[in-house]
C-alpha cells in the first residue's frame, strides 16, 4: 500500500475515512486534517464492499450506509445485486446504531443495562467503532 502524507503537517499517520467523489479520503491522525489523494475511479476497496454488505445485512438502509461510509447508495445496490445478498424481512425489530471511539465503547460495555436483552454487534469503522443493536418496535 502506498503511504499517504498529510498535506497539512506532513505526517504519514492517517486512516482511511470514506470515499468522496470516488476518491479515497484520509484523516490525518496528527492534526485531524482530511485529505483525499488517489483517484480510485471505479475500483473501490474491497474493504468498503465488505463493510457495505455487512451493514446491509444488519438491516441498515441504503441511505444510512451511504451516509456512514460515504459510498453512493447506487453502488451499494449494485453490490447487493452482484453478490446476490438477501436479508430476511423482519417487521418486529429494527436496528439502531451508535458510532463511538474506543474509550466510549469501553464505557458502553461497562453498563450492563446497555447490553441486556438485545446484545450488540460491533464493527470497526475507520478509527471509530460502530455498534448495532436490534430493538423490538414499540407498540
Residues in contact with Zn ion by CB under 5 A are 6, 8-9, 11, 28, 30-31, 33
The minimum distance between CB 115 and Zn ion, in angstroms, equals 36
- Residue position matching grid coordinates 444488519: 58
Give Cα separations from 120 to 4, 66, 94, 104, 126 (angstroms): 34, 21, 13, 15, 19
Cβ 13 to Zn ion shortest distance, Å? 8
Give CA–CA dist 135/93, Å, rounded. Answer: 5
Helix (H) or strand (E) holding 57, with range, is: helix 46-57
Say if CB 108 and CB 99 are below 8 A apart. Answer: no
Answer for the pair 46, 16: CB distance below 8 angstroms, yes or no. Answer: no
Shortest separation between residue 25's beta carbon and Zn ion, angstroms: 14
Q: Which is nearer to Zn ion, 3 or 113 (CB)?
A: 3
Closer to Zn ion at the Cβ: 10 or 78?
10
Residue among 30 and 104 whose Cβ is closer to Zn ion: 30
Q: Which is nearer to Zn ion, 9 or 118 (CB)?
A: 9
Q: Which residue has the cell 450506509?
A: 65
> Least distance (Å) from Zn ion to the CB of residue 18?
17
- Residue closer to Zn ion by CB (options 5, 80) is 5
Closest-CA residue to 63 (of 76, 53, 82, 48): 76
Distance in Å, CB of 34 to Zn ion, minimum: 10
Amino acid at each position: 500500500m502506498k503511504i499517504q502524507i498529510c498535506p497539512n503537517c506532513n505526517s504519514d499517520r492517517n486512516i482511511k475515512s470514506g470515499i468522496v467523489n470516488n476518491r479515497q479520503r484520509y484523516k490525518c491522525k496528527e492534526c485531524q486534517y482530511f485529505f483525499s489523494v488517489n483517484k480510485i475511479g471505479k475500483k473501490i476497496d474491497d474493504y468498503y464492499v465488505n463493510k457495505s454488505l455487512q451493514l446491509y445485512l444488519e438491516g441498515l438502509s441504503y441511505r444510512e450506509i451511504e451516509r456512514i461510509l460515504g459510498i453512493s447508495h447506487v453502488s451499494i445496490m449494485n453490490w447487493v445485486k452482484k453478490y446476490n445478498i438477501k436479508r430476511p424481512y423482519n417487521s418486529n425489530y429494527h436496528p439502531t446504531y451508535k458510532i463511538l471511539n474506543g474509550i466510549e465503547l469501553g464505557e458502553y460495555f461497562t453498563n450492563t443495562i446497555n447490553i441486556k436483552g438485545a446484545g450488540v454487534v460491533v464493527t470497526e469503522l475507520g478509527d471509530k467503532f460502530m455498534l448495532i443493536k436490534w430493538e423490538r418496535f414499540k407498540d
